[in-house]
Structure 1
Amino acid sequence: MQTFEQFSDVSVLGSNLQAIVDGFGTFSILGNRILLDEGLGSEGRDGSINFQKDQWYPLATFLRAFDRIGKEFGGYMQRQVGLSIPKNALFPPTVVDIDSAIQAIDVAYHMNHAINGVPLFSPATGRKTDRIGNYGYERQPGKKLIVSRCTTPYPCTFDEGILTSMAQRFDRTSSVTHVPGACRSRGSSHCIYHIAWK
């Protein structure tokens, strides 16, 4: 079972904090409050949150904010935050269809996390540091189906939101299903998702 503390040396890029604010939609003040309570960013005069999009913030603290969102607002809100991630995260320019979109999630995920300010994926060298789990990609031959095995420390519903947002960017008929069985919310090391389209 993963703990927040095991990621004490890992940081997340500040632009990802915006996904929490965006995920709350018209109730963004609630997202602001959770981030501020967890020590992420600073409070503006109007109660808004200020943070630097290109600055690194502690991943353990970010994960605590997600845990709190789940406890106070449920998995639906965590999924909404996941749906917002692709709007704010860095993605490689090679994303052109549903396959490359799902494949790119793992690369972008590692580009948006760092140790000592060094991103866990370098576009220049193609090197990836496996420290925070992965978003898997396995295309099923002859089918419009991708299997993604996720081993990240983020909530399952959040990962489902990211997969959904990226798939639907390129195919509006796509759907994402959490496969019954193994689940990180019940102590498993992974969750499996099916991404299907017509």
Structure 2
Amino acid sequence: MRDFSEYRGYEVYGLSVVGFVKGFAAFRSIATTFLMRENIGTLDREGTIVIEPHGWYPLDGYLRAFNAIARETGESVVRQLGVGVMQNVHWPKEADSLEGMVRLINVGYHMHHRRDGVPLHDPVKGLTPSLIGSYEGRKVSDSVFVIECANPYPCLFDQGLVQGGLRRLGVKPGSVTVTHEASRPCRAKDGESCTLRLQLGPGAEWGIRSRVSTRPGPGIRF
């Protein structure tokens, strides 16, 4: 089992962990099991996990929890974790459209990670070079965008992350399809990255503005 020791000193923001737990829906006891194995969170008197949304948690342990989930549960669970995280984290304020989400997903990713207590995104200085990788979104045509995901999270998680972003934007189900480009490398097959393709259907627009809030809803205890 990979121990992700290269990420010691890195931390993930509590809101990401909140989304992780919410991604389990009615089966949050499973999330409790995986996270407590890594000493992430605390338990209250009833044995319910407590996550501090504005706290910071060790990234190596968080990634080990993902790895364990990928081994011990179904693909749909890992994908749903991505949906849960994307619907509960902070977004850059300009990420209020489909195009904005694709363009700024990497900024949002770095906003929720830090190294040795220093955030990996600074509003003035920009991104800090690090080992956590990136999401690189680009426009291919008027109806197609791609996002290259080169980071330590599971492939299925990133698919769910994008789908969760579409839900948060209020995109009509079925109007944008998200697929993994089969001709490209895949981290699940020892590749260094995965490429996701976003295809617009009739009537969908990249620039359409949503009423989505860039601030997540409250949540501490589950």
- Superposition TM-score, scaled by structure 2 size: 0.83
Tell me the equivalent position of 1:137: 137
Report deviation, 1:128.
Answer: 3.6
Tell me the equivalent position of 1:62: 62
Query: What is the CA–CA distance in structure 1 between the aligned matches of 2:78 and 2:158, rounded to whole Å?
Result: 9
Query: What is the CA–CA distance in structure 2 between the aligned matches of 1:92 and 1:196, rounded to whole Å?
Result: 23
- Could you report, residue by residue, the CA deviation over 1:119-159 in whole angstroms, capped at 9, with x for unpaired residues? 11112332343421111111013x31111111010000000
- Could you report, residue by residue, the CA deviation over 1:33-68 in whole angstroms, capped at 9, with x for unpaired residues? 211122101111122111222121110100011011
- Is the 2:148–2:193 contact (alpha carbons within 8 Å) kept by the matching residues of 1? yes
- Is the 1:97–1:170 contact (alpha carbons within 8 Å) kept by the matching residues of 2? no
Tell me the equivalent position of 1:195: 198
- Is the 2:91–2:108 contact (alpha carbons within 8 Å) kept by the matching residues of 1? yes
Tell me the equivalent position of 1:119: 119
Query: What is the CA–CA distance in structure 2 between the aligned matches of 1:144 and 1:167, rounded to whole Å?
Result: 15
- Where does the alignment leave 5 or more consecutive residues of structure 2 unmatched? 202-222
Query: What is the CA–CA distance in structure 1 between the aligned matches of 2:178 and 2:55, rounded to whole Å?
Result: 32
Inter-CA distance 3–133: structure 2 relative to 1 (3 Å threshold): farther
Alignment map for 1:151-162 (pairs within 5 Å): 151-162=150-161
- Superposition TM-score, scaled by structure 1 size: 0.93
For the residue of structure 1 that corresponds to 2:152, the secondary structure is: coil
- Where does the alignment leave 5 or more consecutive residues of structure 1 unmatched? none
Which has a greater percent of helix?
A: 1
Runs of 4+ in structure 1 over 3 Å off: none
For the residue of structure 2 that corresponds to 1:88, the secondary structure is: coil
Tell me the equivalent position of 1:146: 145
Tell me the equivalent position of 2:104: 104
RMSD after superposition: 1.5
Report the count of equivalent residues: 196
- Is the 1:121–1:129 contact (alpha carbons within 8 Å) kept by the matching residues of 2? no
Q: Residue 138 of structure 1 aligns to which amino acid in structure 2?
A: R
Alignment map for 1:166-185 (pairs within 5 Å): 166-168=165-167, 169-172=169-172, 173-181=175-183, 182-185=185-188
Tell me the equivalent position of 2:210: none
Inter-CA distance 71–128: structure 2 relative to 1 (3 Å threshold): same
- Is the 1:174–1:197 contact (alpha carbons within 8 Å) kept by the matching residues of 2? yes
For the residue of structure 2 that corresponds to 1:139, the secondary structure is: strand
- Could you report, residue by residue, the CA deviation over 1:150-187 in whole angstroms, capped at 9, with x for unpaired residues? 10100000000111121342532112101114101111
Tell me which of the two structures has the higher relative contact order, counting C-alpha pairs closer than 8 angstroms and 6 or more residues apart.
2
Report deviation, 1:95.
Answer: 1.4
